[in-house]
Amino acid sequence: MSDLSPFAPAPAPVPVKTRARRTLRLLGAAATAGSVAIGLAALSSGTAQASAAGSGVASGGTAVGGAVRGSAGAGIGCDVAAAYYDTAPQSGNLAMVRQAVLCLINAERARAGLRPYTRNSALDAAAASHADAAARLKWWRPGANSHTNPQTGSTPGSRITAAGYCPNPLSWAYAETTYTGWGGSGTPRAAVHWWVHVSTYGHRQIVLSPTLVDAGVGAAAGAADPAGAGASGGGTFVVDYGRCQR
């Protein structure tokens, strides 16, 4: 059972000091018996950025996909990564878990008639650093902005740029989705299922974007919500997406 309902209304668009000029946020909350998860989506293209935030749980779904090339986990096929679809991240399995997330995402894209995302090392680095920070600082409580690090002030755009994605572009776009869960909901399958089949806050549109082409995945052990601190099976996931024309 699950119950997805608004947590707080979005404020009017406000200026932000990034490559984007406008931001819009929508907050929501949901829970199910024994486990909780949080997800947030952010999208930027050219001069506009839109964000949506939500909290919920998810499970279910199956997927297959291609192998990683030119990034962390290179050569790991989805036939191997499938064994980690229902496994929470731990220090010894992060490469497999990250690939499992990408395989599940690309399977959803295949079902929608879309090309798979190409794994990108710069986006990997940006996503991994944010997932690690979130699991350590645990600020993703309901209503929080999971995209902005409260200690460093980093945003999806600043992290992706600092990691070296798409320098000096003619045009570019980026997006980010986040998820954290525990008690059986901190797995790649739970994260991707929630983004695509549960969330009503913009995650599905990003995962199934017809214009974004690159992706990088971050995963960290433990929940990023303080309510899940110390709980078993915790996982925190960040996926950064991009399109670069140079």
Average pLDDT over the chain reads 77
Alpha carbons 215 and 192: distance in angstroms, whole number: 14
Query: Tens digits of per-residue pLDDT, 104-134?
Result: 999 999 999 999 999 999 999 999 999 999 9
Dihedral angle computed from the Cα positions of residues 52, 57, 63 and 69, in that order, rounded to the nearest 10 degrees? 50
pLDDT at 75: 74
- What pLDDT is recorded for position 41? 62
- pTM recorded for the entire structure: 0.76
* Of 24-28, 173-177, 212-216, the least confident: 24-28
CATH 3.40.33.10 fits 80-245, yes or no: yes
Q: For tokens 């993703």, what's the residue?
A: 140
Percent of the chain with pLDDT over 90: 68
Nearest to 181 by CA among 125, 122, 131: 131
Q: Residue ranges of the alpha helices (H) in 62-168?
A: 78-81, 94-111, 121-137, 156-162
Tens digit of pLDDT for each residue in 218-246? 999 999 999 999 999 999 999 999 999 99
Beta strand 118-119 with 214-221 is: parallel
What would the mean pLDDT of 151-166 be, rounded to a whole number?
97
Q: What are the structure tokens assigned to 215, written together? A: 């992706």
Tokens 């997006």 -> residue: 175
Domain parsing of the chain, residue ranges: 80-245
